[in-house]
Amino acid sequence: MKRVYSAALAVFLLSVFLVSCSKNISPEETQPVAPSSSSVRMAIAVDPDGLDPQMSASASTFQVTSSIYETLVTVDESGNIQPCLAESWKIADDGLSITFILREGAMFSDGDACDADAVVSSFSRLVSPVSVRSQDYSFISSVEAVDENTVHFEFSTLDVTALAKFAYPWSAIVDTEHEGSLRTEPVGSGPYMLSSWVPQQSLILERNPYYDGECGVDMIEFVVMSDMTSAVTAMRNGQLDIILITGDLVGLFEGDERFTIHALPTNGLQLMAMNNESEGLDDIRVRKAINYAVDKNALIEAVWWGYGEPIGSHFPVVLSEYADMNGKYPYDPDKARELLAEAGYGEGELNLRMFLPKNYQEYVNAGQVIADMLRNVGINVDIQIVEWATWLSDIYNGRNYDLTVVGHTGRLDAYSLLSRYRHDAAENYFNYENAEFDSLLDAYVRETDEMKRKEIAFRMEEILAEDVPALYIQDPIQIYVTDSDLEGFRTYPINIFRMDLLEYSYR
Amino acid sequence: MKRHSISFILGTVITVVAIIFSAVSLVFTPYDPESMDIYNRFQGPSAEHLLGTDHFGRDILSRIMSGSLVALSSALLSVTIGALLGIVIGLVSALSPKYVSSILQRIIDALMAFPTILIALMLVTIAGKGILPSALAVALAIVPVFSRLVYTMILETKEKLYIKAAVSYGAGRFRIAAFHLFPPMFSRLVTQFTSSIGRAILLESSLSFLGLGIQPPSSSLGMMLSEARSYVLTYPYQAIPAGTTLLLIVLGFNLLGDGLSEVIDGGRRIRHG
Amino acid sequence: MGKYIAKRLLAALAVMAIVSFMTFSVLELIPGNAALIAAGTEGSATSVASIAAELGLNRGFLERVLLYYKDLLSFDLGVSSYFGENVSTLIGQRLGVTFSLAFFSVLLAFIFSVILGSAAALGRGRLIDALSRGVVQIFSSIPSFWLSLLFLILFSSVLHVVNVGDYVPPSVSIRGYLSSIILPVAVLAIGETGPLLRLVRASMIRVRNEDWYRIGKVRGISRMRLIMAYALRYALPGPLTLAGSELAKLLGGTAIVESIFALPGLGRLFLTAVEMRDIPLVEGIVIFVSFLVVLMNLVTDLVLFFSNPTMRKAGGIKL
């Protein structure tokens, strides 16, 4: 008898434990939002890396923080600068200083004023070593509050792209009084504020009561769904309002009037980087051979279902300084073999190691397709799939690789985008070196004439297309599916969402 | 009179077929399992491709053949390593003074509590690709099964009269182990070995599923399933061939292990009867 | 008795120390760290250094380990470097999910095994015995991740009966909660049924051969009464202890199922923590789960200890 009782006791204890555990998730944290016209549920694949925009470099952070904080200026869909926290601004004639006039009455979500002093202390934090972006803003030599609504920036070097730097989401104005806890308890002056965040489950934003602008919806819920299958299922069952999908899934939504499909080119690019110092790849003929060997259209079809714009240089098609370099290396395997033979590599004599970041299934797929195409021209490719952390440490920072496939997010100007090709840049994981290119970069930031600046950008793109430090694959097209009643959803050339512009219409 | 064991017969048939099926891939597969044909992807079964093609247009049958070979050889390797290690640890801890055995026991406990995923991750990142790292990770998960088995079997037999007799004759500790303790354990170990192969195949495929197993372009059944996962909504058929093969191979070894123990126990009962 | 438990707990501490130190070493050996991840491909080299300093990664290995243990002594598991949240809060948020999965799947498997196992061993028909043996073999051969995919295809995408990826805690809606965990619970239960059913059947066969059972039968006690009142009571402690240790194992082993069904459980948290090189979070989960495993093993051993006095003599429990 005794043993049965002890066994029963054990089971009972477990049940008690279970019940007490499930209570750990308190109701107000996870209460699903009642379906109402004023709430939007959007699926995101990964959690933000904290909600402090100055302490993160991850796109997933800015997608959320762009609704919580405000930047001095912002951009429209085509990348034109628009007022945000600053109503107006004036750039000095010599380009070495800029003055912003702030919107009157802007307030942080805790009720404190978001005035010139707040802007100054937020920027002091941004340029200090604690921030991830300090280097990008090292051109700022001083920031001062002229009066309550006026902030004056002085620059140490001429940078014609300076204004755009005040639009990027990482330059957002944070309430530095809360600087230690912004990662989990953000305080900003944006239209929304954090209501709750249970990592890997959901993140809920509600209206910032101190925000004086208009908002079409009162509540935004980001639902963390790492698996696209479950996100798509939930969307089709009407539990979500916005999701991002891959090309193969478009057919599931097409022709269904409940949904609107937005397929839009983004400001970004995907490429296969080559280590320009590796044996074999240090020969430009080999790099060209690789470019001839890859059928980009087939690659884009295989991996992205045709949703992508092929590119021939390190430049997204959506930017105004884009020049089409696609014609340089048409798919031509015979030409590739010829060039390889010229460089001294016969069939099967060139061995290359390819590293692919595991977390990005599209890059893993692209790498495998490219490897198969390279094998066809007699290059042996040894694939290794590594974790993102390993990739960052050994490949990106350690530069111990031959080939790797990865993507880069776009910037608003050619300099920010291309400065990683400077021979001594820490981010130059290609090990690329070209003196003409370096001097063009310097010339670009000092050139105040827009037309001439464009010419310089074109030349830089041409040099990269000529030297091919990488195989440039495509500017990706992102496919969002939204509830067809939801209006105002747009994508922007920088990593932001404008949730305040969303609103529901009724048929 | 010998009793026929259905498990044994069925298990033998399935495993032999699986071994032949995968061994053939060494000399012949219908297509090159790694060669892609982008514009002919996601095809259903046809005369050309008996099991259809995958998301890169590779022939699924060819990939399953070579994937099975990878699964079988890596499972064999990991169970061999795991069994050897486990037997040694079990023997040592059963025959050593108490403090040694309790230290060994704590290490085994720690090994069991330690996440296999971490071990696999470490081995794959440090030792690189090929079947060895993931086979080692699986082996470490197999070790406790064998060490426990050997340990308890020895404790059981230790009490038997003939061992006590051997001790009284002054036979050395390891002589007793080799000549008196080990032989009666042999059949149990063979049985355990066989069914552990099934378990090892499952473990390896779940590591592959998480991307911690064998690296592409080599095909592993777990990896094929992991790739199929992305197409559950659009091409659900992709998950069927590799999964069925995996199920059948594991089932074969489990049945064989079960059948073996029936045949051996049955035989013993007859001898004693 | 008290001494026995104290000794066991001490051994448990030793095991946890070994496990946590092994975890530190593994994380030290594999490339990459949280600072690199935070800076990504867009941050600069100087920011990597400042983030590393912020996270304390610039200290030596041993110093970091010792500091961690010092905090651990005051039950402080630290702050996750990726989520910026207390590790104990993160574990607490997910425990309910993982525990629900583990508990209900073992419970389901246990009930099913007892019914089928008793019927197979004590029933008259050979058919039901063959069936139970077939179930054991097939259930222990199905890869759980494959079964999850099949369930996902069938129930979610073909039949549209279950929503996936939308975990609802029981405090919000019991119905929603059950529907969000039913598929993964079924998958895990099938995996657990194999060993449990095998053991129940074997213990019941032993019951069948016991003298008291035969006498009971001869005296004409009804079969149902005989099974319910005597046989089960005699045969169940073994399977119950197995169920206990399987439950403990599942607490650390639901990662794959959680990630396929997009449930916010401990396993998925662990996978993310490792991926993001979030040392405090990985350590916290490893220590917590190994503590649970050790605790569950102790509980099951104690049950065994009370239920079977011969175990005490035979040394079945190693101290």
Q: Based on the domain organization, do A95 and A140 belong to the same domain?
A: yes
Q: Based on the domain organization, do A473 and A483 belong to the same domain?
A: no
Cβ distance of C145 and B206 shorter than 8 Å: yes
Measure in Å the smallest separation between the Cα of B195 and chain A Cα atoms: 30
Q: Which among C1, C26, C93, C111 is the top mutation candidate for probing chain A, defined by the most A β-carbons within 10 Å of its own β-carbon?
A: C93
Q: Which among A1, A2, A6 is the top mutation candidate for probing chain C, defined by the most C β-carbons within 10 Å of its own β-carbon?
A: A6
A406 assigned to some structural domain: yes
Within 10 angstroms of residue C45's Cβ, the number of other Cβ atoms is: 12
CATH code (residue A307): 3.10.105.10
Alpha helices in chain B (DSSP H): 6-24, 60-95, 98-113, 116-127, 131-158, 161-168, 173-176, 182-209, 221-229, 240-272
Q: Which of A301, A302, A358 sits opposite B211 (nearest CB)?
A: A358
Q: Which of C94, C170, C236 sits opposite A7 (nearest CB)?
A: C236
Gyration radius (Cα) of chain B, Å? 22
SS3 A377: coil
Question: What is the SS3 string spanning C190-244?
Answer: HHHHHHHHHHHHHHHHHHHCCHHHHHHHHCCCCHHHHHHHHHHHHHCHHHHHHHH
SS3 B2: coil
Instruction: Calculate the average pLDDT of chain A.
Output: 89
* pLDDT on residue C314: 43
All residues of chain C having their beta carbon less than 8 Å from the beta carbon of residue B232 are: 149, 152-153, 157
Ordered by where they begin, the domains of chain B are 3-14+50-268 (1.10.3720.10)
Q: Based on the domain organization, do A254 and A365 belong to the same domain?
A: no
Average pLDDT over residues C79-105: 91
Cβ distance of C274 and B121 shorter than 8 Å: yes
A2 assigned to some structural domain: no
Q: What confidence category does residue C318 fall into, taking pLDDT thresholds of 50, 70 and 90?
A: very low
A112 assigned to some structural domain: yes
- Domain range for A485: 7-49+187-266+479-504
In tens, the pLDDT along B212-261 reads 877 776 778 888 998 898 898 889 999 999 999 999 999 999 999 888 88
Cβ distance of C299 and A10 shorter than 8 Å: yes
> Looking at the DSSP assignment, which residues form a beta bridge with residue A268?
A409
- Are C155 and C74 in contact by the 8 Å Cβ rule? The answer is no
All residues of chain C having their beta carbon less than 8 Å from the beta carbon of residue B225 are: 143, 145-146, 149
Q: Based on the domain organization, do A155 and A195 belong to the same domain?
A: no
Cβ distance of B129 and A384 shorter than 8 Å: yes
* pLDDT on residue B270: 44
Spatial distance between the Cα atoms of A212 and B191, rounded to a whole number of angstroms: 75
Q: Which of C259, C266, C317, C246 is nearest to C103 (CA)?
A: C246
* pLDDT on residue B272: 40
SS3 B49: coil
* pLDDT on residue C165: 65
Q: Based on the domain organization, do A240 and A295 belong to the same domain?
A: no
Cβ distance of C275 and A359 shorter than 8 Å: yes
Instruction: Calculate the average pLDDT of chain C.
Output: 84
With 70 as the cut, is the pLDDT of residue A357 above it?
yes
Q: Of the candidates A134, A155, A181, which is a domain's last residue?
A: A181
CATH code (residue A43): 3.40.190.10
Spatial distance between the Cα atoms of A25 and C90, rounded to a whole number of angstroms: 10
- Are A298 and A282 in contact by the 8 Å Cβ rule? The answer is no
Spatial distance between the Cα atoms of A301 and C28, rounded to a whole number of angstroms: 40
A1 assigned to some structural domain: no
All residues of chain C having their beta carbon less than 8 Å from the beta carbon of residue B117 are: 255, 270-271, 274
Average pLDDT over residues A115-121: 95
All residues of chain B having their beta carbon less than 8 Å from the beta carbon of residue C290 are: 110, 113-114
In tens, the pLDDT along B133-183 reads 888 989 988 998 898 888 888 877 777 777 777 777 777 767 776 777 777
Distance from the Cα of residue B112 to its chain's centroid:
17
A343 assigned to some structural domain: yes
Q: Based on the domain organization, do A168 and A123 belong to the same domain?
A: yes
In tens, the pLDDT along C58-69 reads 888 999 999 999
Dihedral over alpha carbons A292, A296, A297, A298 (to 10 degrees):
90
Q: List the single residue in B with minimal CA-CA distance to C259.
A: B210
Cβ distance of A372 and B36 shorter than 8 Å: yes
Q: Based on the domain organization, do A194 and A176 belong to the same domain?
A: no
Q: Based on the domain organization, do A328 and A452 belong to the same domain?
A: yes
SS3 A244: strand
Peptide bond just before B217 cis, omega within 30 deg: yes
All residues of chain A having their beta carbon less than 8 Å from the beta carbon of residue C48 are: 397
DSSP per residue, B100-142: HHHHHHHHHHHHHHS-HHHHHHHHHHHH-SSHHHHHHHHHHHH
Q: What is the largest CA-CA distance in chain B?
A: 78
Compare C104 and C85 and report the one with higher pLDDT.
C104
Specify the long-range contacts of residues C206-215, CB closer than 8 Å, at least 24 apart.
C206/C235, C207/C121, C207/C122, C207/C231, C207/C234, C207/C235, C208/C121, C208/C122, C210/C234
Residues with Cβ within 8 Å of residue A455, at least 6 apart in sequence: none
Q: What confidence category does residue A136 fall into, taking pLDDT thresholds of 50, 70 and 90?
A: confident
Average pLDDT over residues C273-287: 92
Cβ distance of A369 and B229 shorter than 8 Å: no
With 70 as the cut, is the pLDDT of residue C310 above it?
no
- Between A232-236, B102-106, C170-174, C302-306, the lowest mean confidence (pLDDT) is in C302-306
Average pLDDT over residues A20-31: 38
Average pLDDT over residues A412-424: 92
Cβ distance of A229 and B233 shorter than 8 Å: yes
- Which residues of B touch chain C, with CB atoms under 8 Å apart? 7, 101-102, 105-107, 109-110, 112-115, 117-119, 121-122, 125-126, 155, 198, 202, 205-206, 209-210, 222, 225, 228-229, 232-233, 236, 239, 243, 246-247, 250-251, 254-255, 258
Query: What tokens were used for A507?
Result: 């048929």
- Residue A150 contacts C, CB cutoff 8 Å: no
Query: What tokens were used for B32?
Result: 């090159």
Residues with Cβ within 8 Å of residue A216, at least 6 apart in sequence: A487, A488, A500, A501, A502, A503, A504
Compare A337 and B167 and report the one with higher pLDDT.
A337
Q: Based on the domain organization, do A347 and A390 belong to the same domain?
A: yes
- Between A27-36, A40-49, A462-471, C309-318, the lowest mean confidence (pLDDT) is in A27-36
Within 10 angstroms of residue A317's Cβ, the number of other Cβ atoms is: 20
Percentage of the residues of chain A whose pLDDT score is greater than 70: 92
Q: Based on the domain organization, do A231 and A279 belong to the same domain?
A: no
Q: Which among C91, C105, C166, C236 is the top mutation candidate for probing chain A, defined by the most A β-carbons within 10 Å of its own β-carbon?
A: C166
Q: List the single residue in C with minimal CA-CA distance to B230.
A: C149
A423 assigned to some structural domain: yes
CATH code (residue A98): 3.90.76.10
Give the Cα-Cα-Cα angle C250, C253, C254 (nearest 5 degrees): 90
Spatial distance between the Cα atoms of C58 and A248, rounded to a whole number of angstroms: 45
Q: Which of A194, A223, A222 is nearest to A208 (CA)?
A: A194
Query: What tokens were used for B209?
Result: 């599923």
Spatial distance between the Cα atoms of A375 and A377, rounded to a whole number of angstroms: 5
Q: List the single residue in A with minimal CA-CA distance to B216.
A: A383
* pLDDT on residue B267: 52
Q: Based on the domain organization, do A440 and A308 belong to the same domain?
A: yes
Measure in Å the smallest separation between the Cα of A251 and chain B Cα atoms: 9
Q: Which of C255, C251, C319 is nearest to C291 (CA)?
A: C251
Q: List the single residue in C with minimal CA-CA distance to A56.
A: C38
Q: How many domains does chain A divide into?
A: 3
Spatial distance between the Cα atoms of A368 and A385, rounded to a whole number of angstroms: 10
Q: Based on the domain organization, do A153 and A201 belong to the same domain?
A: no
Q: List the single residue in C with minimal CA-CA distance to A389.
A: C32
> Looking at the DSSP assignment, which residues form a beta bridge with residue A474?
A270, A310
Q: Of the candidates A146, A181, A216, which is a domain's last residue?
A: A181
In tens, the pLDDT along A57-107 reads 888 899 999 999 999 999 998 889 999 999 999 999 888 999 999 999 999
Q: Of the candidates A181, A211, A246, which is a domain's last residue?
A: A181
Average pLDDT over residues A400-425: 92
* pLDDT on residue C1: 67
